[in-house]
A = this chain, B = another copy of it.
């Protein structure tokens, strides 16, 4: 009889994956892509923002779970500051401006559902990010740096 075999857990070593400039939004902010799901569109990544730097205004079209690994950051729109060990849970339909505090560089572990839309000061769309744009930025970077590219959308 055919069996309904479960899939093995996916293990991905963070050391084997590159930090990639989060262009065109910033040359200073880098992203390490860990995994994308081509069915649900979920993106799992690390975000690194140098102390004192930021990321422009963006809208979320799905939830974001952001767990701070090091450094301190906040959203310009809110009163709290997130430090190592803190959780920020962002709801679908929210809009923020990321600011890294002075001191240590910021590193955040991120689970992103759906899309991220960056907008300019007049509210116009600059870019829409989803699992495909993250994966293609990774492929472009690997090609430019002559690194072997892995299929980060795969389970095998």
Contacts and interface: CB of A to CB of B under 8 A. Distances in A.
A67 B109 contact: yes
Interface residues of A, number: 69
A2 B139 contact: yes
A106 B146 CA distance: 35
A101 interface: no
A115 B115 CA distance: 7
Given A9-B78, A132-B93, A40 B38 contact: no
A94 to B, nearest CB: 5
Interface in A69-88: 69, 75, 78, 80, 82-88
Given A67-B67, A114-B61, A6 B44 contact: no
Contact of A94 (B7, B11, B14, B65): B7
Given A41-B62, A62-B41, A63-B39, A131 B92 contact: yes
Contact of A3 (B65, B86, B139): B139
A47 interface: no
A90 interface: yes
Contacts of A26: none
Interface of A: 1-4, 6-15, 34-41, 44, 46, 61-63, 65, 67, 69, 75, 78, 80, 82-96, 109, 111, 113-115, 117, 125, 128, 130-133, 135-136, 139-140, 143, 149, 151, 153, 155
